[in-house]
Amino acid sequence: MDTIAGMTDLSAPITLNDGVVMPRIGYGTYKVGDDEARRTVETALELGYRLVDTAEMYGNETGVGRAVANSGLARGDVFLTSKLWNDHHGYHKARAALESSLERLGTDHLDLFMLHWPSPKQGLYVETFQALLEAKEEGLIRSAGVSNFLPEHLEQVHAELGVWPSVNQVELHPYFNQAELRAWHAERGITTESWGPLGQRTGSLLHEPAVVEAVTAHEKTAAQVVIRWHLQHGCVVIPKSSHAERIAENLAVFDFALTDEEMARIDALDTGERQGIDPGSGER
């Protein structure tokens, strides 16, 4: 089992394949409105989060940017991530969209910028990623990553550009634990980042016996147990909540560790079925 518990300090940041240092846990803002994002991101930063994940498609970059500006933190102390939406694939469109994201966020650079989906029917993801690499050379972004890419898409990027993206942010939770993809990433130095980490589209993960038993053993919440599971598998994880108490709880996961047996029992919840869209389907 590819758990890293006991081998490394999971509260310490992870170093990406391009040398950029990234926190292992962050605050996700999917389905958080612009006004709400300003409030919740401010709360998250006050509570100690230093990674904030947004996207052009989320429609909340302005609110996120205002929260970062109002936090009192130096810009270099916040790892700010956004993503390029599918209708901006292509070299020139990507560059313009990046500049628009920077303007909305009120910053001169992003720490990580990702292609949100490969959109393989467009056939432009390699060209678009090239635009990200050039933006990195210019200092507009520090690291170039992707989201929802399959190995075939990553291999095409590598074949044509000679680099692996630093991060692939994918649907990942105990119901869809992506063990093969995680191992494939690790062999190539790509960091796996989990979206939808609590698998709540079905609403039952946090009540699974394997999770509940770990909750009892460690006196933690079910969400904390699942977040810890992600961390022990070496993933960066970006849970989301709009409630200050839960935002705080989701970060309090460094004072316990799941046993190998507990990890294996949670691993066994895997169904092999996505809750979101299949990146190879062409729907995005």
pTM: 0.95
Select which of 27, 49, 58, 175 is catalytic. Answer: 58
pLDDT of amino acid 284: 82
Residue-wise DSSP of 11-76 = TSPEEPTTS-EE-SB-EE-TT--HHHHHHHHHHHHHHT--EEE--GGGT-HHHHHHHHHHT---GG
End-to-end CA distance of the chain: 33
Which class is domain 14-267? alpha beta
Q: Pseudo-torsion of CA 63, 115, 74, 246, nearest 10°?
A: 60
pLDDT, averaged per 10 consecutive residues of the chain (284 residues), comes to 60 96 97 93 97 97 97 97 96 97 98 97 97 98 98 98 98 97 98 94 87 98 98 97 95 97 98 91 80
Annotation marks residue 91 as catalytic? no
Domain boundaries along the sequence of the chain: 14-267
pLDDT of amino acid 3: 59
